[in-house]
Amino acid sequence: MTTPIACSFPIPEPPMGTIDPNTIEIDYQVGGVPPVKAFHQVVDLAACEADAFYIENATVILCPDACAQVQADPAAKLDVRYGCDVGFDPAG
């Protein structure tokens, strides 16, 4: 039996410096193989979409539909990317 991927996890520690939470994106490898499907950031649970996540109290939380997709995939892989301006504006 496999354990599904967690739908929430702390923002990872960078090897150097700090991570600007507004630059975080998540790459989801469907079945564990490329190409990746990018999950984008939204401001909170109320703004959730099928391919999105939000950050609350330094925790990355997959939106319910994204969580269901990932947990239904026994070979799913998630990679957190950060550091580039991805156009996310927490002010809306």
3-class secondary structure, 41: strand
Q: Could you give the dihedral angle defined by the CA atoms of residues 9, 5, 53 and 18, in that order, rounded to the nearest 10 degrees?
A: 40
pLDDT at 2: 64
User: Which range (1-10, 17-26, 65-74) has the least confidence?
Assistant: 1-10
* This prediction's pTM: 0.87
Average pLDDT over all residues of the chain: 89
pLDDT at 16: 80
**Residue 10 binned pLDDT confidence (cut-offs 50, 70, 90):** very high
Report, in angstroms and rounded to the nearest whole number, the Rg of the chain calculated over CA atoms.
13
- For residues 38 and 14, the model is more confident at 38
d(CA 79, CA 37): 10
